[in-house]
Amino acid sequence: MGKVTITNDTTKEPIQMIGRYAGECWGADTTAPSKNFKRGINCLNSEHGRTWEFPDVYMTIEGYSARVIREWYTHIGGAPSRLQASTRYINYGSFEYITPPKIANNEKAKMMYDNCMWVIQEMLQGLDDMGIPREDSALLLPLGMTTKIACKHNFRNLVDMSHQRLCTRAYWEYRQLFRDIIEALGNYSDEWKILVQMMKPKCEVYGYCTEEKGCGRVLKKDSKNINL
């Protein structure tokens, strides 16, 4: 589907970074990589979350729908930074778009979906030919259109996002995006390969499902609801 690229601004030694900054607060020796690594693992196991905020992940995300990227923007923990491709520079006559599996596997539904996208492309191209400013005609662009962003998130923020977005209740494309992020980070360095093991759905963290309508994969916790 899409593509996630981890850029070189991302450290390849995030665990050592966590341990080094924690060591500064503890008055420890921060010159030895092995000690920083061991201290970093301790911070992870002890869930000292503030230390997880030091490693930043710089990446480009492309080929996913504008709908998913819009939801991506709702995660503001850790003060992330983001830039998105301008709608002024899209090929209005042939922009790419995502087709959901349930539509792709239904011949009639796919024909209707593709025809709708074709009409939008034709109308956008027509408005372009008429000299209508793209900041006006861009309002016709569909949420299914693919887009590209450059972004920066700290590790703690990504872990928190994964608990929500890898849940089977999350939209299928968002789950795929997060799986692609995990794969890209795991291939980026050996230390990131360790850290991505912490990116998982919340039921695997808590040991039970917190959703009102769970998928059934994990049992729900027996507890009283909060009455307001």
CATH fold, domain 3-85+145-202, is Gyrase A; domain 2 (3.30.1360)
pLDDT digits (tens, 9 = 90+) for 86-98: 888 888 888 999 9
Cα-based distances in Å from 105 to 64, 119, 129, 176: 19, 21, 35, 18
User: For 213, what's the count of Cα atoms within 13 Å in the CB-facing half-sphere?
Assistant: 2
Q: Residue 99: exposed, middle, or buried by beta-carbon count in 10 A (0-12, 13-18, 19+)?
A: middle
Of 132, 64, 128, 67, residue with least CA distance to 96: 64
Asked if 55 and 17 count as a contact pair (C-beta separation under 8 A), the reply is: yes
- Model's pTM, two decimal places? 0.91
For residue 224, pLDDT over 70 is answered with no
pLDDT score of 221 = 74
Question: Which whole number is the average pLDDT over 107-113?
Answer: 98
pLDDT digits (tens, 9 = 90+) for 156-187: 999 999 999 999 999 999 999 999 999 999 99
pLDDT digits (tens, 9 = 90+) for 124-134: 999 999 999 99
Q: pLDDT band at 51, cuts 50/70/90?
A: very high
Asked if 83 and 150 count as a contact pair (C-beta separation under 8 A), the reply is: yes
d(CA 185, CA 192): 6
